[in-house]
Amino acid sequence: MSTSTNDQRALSPSSTHELSAAEMSDILASEPDSLPAGEIRVTNEFRQRLRELSKLNTLRAVAGIAGDWAIIAACFSAALLIPHPVVWVCAAILIAARQHALLIIMHDASHFRIVANKRWNDRLSNWLLAWPALVSTEGYRDNHLAHHSHLNTDDDPDWTRKAGKPEWEFPKTRWAMLRLILRDVFGGGFLDILGAMRNLSSRKSKPDEVKQRAWGKLCYYALIAAVITATGMWVPVLLLWFVPVFTILPVMFRLRGIAEHFGLEGEHELNMSRNFAARSWERILFAPHNVGYHLDHHLFPSVPYYNLPQLHRELLKHPEYAAHAHLNDSLFGLRGKSVLNDVLPA
């Protein structure tokens, strides 16, 4: 978090994601008179607003999860009622978009932003968000908090996985971008997604914890398999759930990864990540649950996803933020300040 505070803990997202109001009050200390470029002044008024925005609203989180699963159920129902290839393809695309949406909320759970009780936060996240996509909340958390703490450095696991690979070098031509996306759609990202699942499912834990978690996952998947078998749904589940996981979902991950940290100046923390104002169709397919406010999330990871728009409005009141933050007006707009134009040659 690039703010003018004196306590270094305030600069560590791995600690700020679970701060109480009292702890946050201690951490957000007084500011110096002048600020370097890329830092923002934290006023007493903003401190109070940040505390309010960091409070959890479990009903809103649960409503978001329920809404995503309701859309997934509707897509399965439509495909079963109308056995036409076009309907099945459209259903698979929408299901992949909701898989992505569920994993966005799982990302919030990795910051303990779903429910206040940490054990139930992880249980709900694993049962409803992570395990259906073959990953774990705990494994993702280990990876993700290191990404926050060491953004775009050799200690950032997300950065090191992509550094030096031609597919993650920008700018690219439109044709090169299209080839990359088509490669993922036709299964070229299969090995990448398998590697990500392995990385995001492993965690350094005590042997007893590993054994207990393994038994929990085994029982979970056995129950799911039994339900699918009893209902005769294996073919729809394979075609509408697992095929999208390995074909369409990698495209969404790639586009989101580009939008969050590539094609940026990288001079300071206000332009090492970006915010993008997605259009309606972009939000449905690629940027659910306010994920476009990625810069704001990096600055203040204690704020849950449903409060990020309010946080953004508060940050825009700071002249330092308004002047130096990297903000885009869309993902794919051919004109204006879109993410696409950031990563294409001038």
8 Å CB contact between 45 and 53: no
Assess whether pLDDT exceeds 80 at residue 12. no
Assess whether pLDDT exceeds 50 at residue 27. no
Assess whether pLDDT exceeds 90 at residue 24. no
Mean pLDDT value across residues 299-321 = 96
8 Å CB contact between 50 and 302: yes
What does the pLDDT read at residue 37?
Answer: 66
Picking from 262, 273, 323, the residue whose alpha carbon sits closest to that of residue 315 is 323
Per-residue CA distances from 14 to 86, 138, 296, 298, 300 (Å): 44, 13, 15, 11, 11
Assess whether pLDDT exceeds 80 at residue 346. no
What does the pLDDT read at residue 242?
Answer: 95
What does the pLDDT read at residue 2?
Answer: 44
Mean pLDDT value across residues 52-60 = 97
What does the pLDDT read at residue 185?
Answer: 86
Assess whether pLDDT exceeds 60 at residue 15. no
H/E stretch holding 275 reads strand 275-276
What does the pLDDT read at residue 53?
Answer: 98
Q: Which tens digit of pLDDT belongs to each residue from 253-293? A: 999 999 999 999 888 889 999 999 999 999 999 999 999 99
pTM of this structure: 0.86
**Residue 263, phi-psi category: left (phi > 0), alpha (psi -120 to 50), beta (remainder):** left
8 Å CB contact between 121 and 114: yes
What does the pLDDT read at residue 225?
Answer: 97
What does the pLDDT read at residue 289?
Answer: 98
Q: How confident is the model at residue 6 (pLDDT cuts 50, 70, 90)?
A: very low
Q: What is the mean pLDDT of the chain?
A: 86
What does the pLDDT read at residue 188?
Answer: 77
H/E stretch holding 327 reads strand 327-328
What does the pLDDT read at residue 22?
Answer: 47
Mean pLDDT value across residues 86-95 = 98
Q: Which is more confident, 105 or 37?
A: 105
Mean pLDDT value across residues 239-259 = 93
What does the pLDDT read at residue 202?
Answer: 58
Contact residues for 8 (Cβ-Cβ < 8 A; gap 6+) = none
φ, ψ of residue 22 in degrees (nearest 5): -65, -45
8 Å CB contact between 34 and 320: no
Mean pLDDT value across residues 304-308 = 98
Picking from 261, 264, 255, the residue whose alpha carbon sits closest to that of residue 283 is 255
What does the pLDDT read at residue 31?
Answer: 46
Q: Which tens digit of pLDDT belongs to each residue from 173-222? A: 989 999 999 988 887 776 676 766 666 665 555 555 666 678 889 999 99
What does the pLDDT read at residue 210?
Answer: 61
